[in-house]
Amino acid sequence: MALPANITSGGDSNVLSIAASNNKGLLIRFLNEQVEDGFYTLVIDYLKDNNFDLNTMKVDEDVKAQCSKLYELGEFVDENIKAKERYEIDEWIEPLFNFVYGDIDSSDIDAPINTTGIYRFSVWLIYLYQREKFGEAMRLIGERIAPLLINVSYQILEDDDRPKNFDKALMGYLDLINVVMEMGLPTSMANSEAYLSNLEVLYDYVIEDPHVGNDYKTQFSIGMFNTFIANKDFTKAFEFYGLNSEYIPIDNMAVYESFKELIRNVNNAHDTSVLSRNVMTTITKQEIYNKRIDTLINEVSAFVKKVYLYIENEPDMKKNLQILGAGAQL
């Protein structure tokens, strides 16, 4: 199963800046911190690069001793990825799952784990996705991931209270949650009431969090709205849309079909009128936008024609442009 690139790929500006400083000890400590917080797949993205070799990096022995988790992960990458030339995530996610969590059943969502860090459930969730165990993935989200994020969010009173890697973990989890939401699966597949109820609580925290970008708020809102539609809970979907319409653009293709389904299933004329009015407003805005684009194109075209005629009527300018190569077609 293909996952969004930002879930498994690196790109942390901190890594790049530290690497550029050529301070190997600082780089090793930083990557080890990422592993301790559960960002295994992101660190692997660096370690599997053939130009990145931990064994050739000269650092003090005390740094190696303090960063044992990173070196253990480095050995895993050497043995399971580089040596076997298995660079795609579906080729190494199972041994990584066993490396991170030990001998546990991936379907046993209540299984105790020794892994720590805010992003500690990410490998588990990715593994369930790769195995296409979507019901179990939804249970893991509802019973362990969402409660973890809710608990941390609840404890954050000021910016200084935010754990160091919380923002990065939150965005990563939201991307992972969106994978199953985009499938439009009914929540009954989770066989757990915690899935939707805890996502609703988490949603409230995310929407109110100024550190979360509007793109993530929109993504999460669309996912929740489509989930209510998939559940045939049209009353809840109407209520949710009414409260969060600013993050649910009905001209978005991910929303369009769900919105039509909602209009067909609302229970009274007033609700139908409200939804229809929103549709007409969006269509009108789109028509105005299209007209503005057409007007702009016409204006640009007219300007180009004026410039062309001006050059045609000025032989010296035309000659100079052709010499420079800028007007070869004139």
Classified as helix, coil or strand, 129 is helix
- Average pLDDT per 10 consecutive residues for the chain, totaling 330 residues: 58 57 80 95 90 82 90 94 90 96 95 94 97 96 97 84 89 96 91 94 96 95 95 90 88 81 73 58 50 58 62 60 49
pLDDT of 303: 57
Query: How far apart (Å, rounded) are the C-alpha atoms in residues 86 and 129?
Result: 19
Domain ranges of the chain: 274-330
pTM for this entry: 0.78
pLDDT at 18: 58
pLDDT digits (tens, 9 = 90+) for 246-300: 999 877 888 888 887 887 787 665 555 656 565 555 544 445 445 555 565 665 5
Q: Report in angstroms the alpha-carbon separations of 269 from 232, 241, 259, 263, 328.
A: 19, 17, 16, 10, 65
Q: Which pLDDT score, from 0 to 100, does residue 282 have?
A: 53
Contact between 168 and 216 under an 8 Å Cβ cutoff? The reply is: no
**CA 57 – CA 60 distance, rounded (Å):** 10
What count of residues does the chain have? Answer: 330
Contact 176, 130 (CB under 8 A): no
How does 173-201 read in b/e, with b if 16+ C-beta sit within 10 Å? bbbbbbbbbeeebebebbebebbbebbee
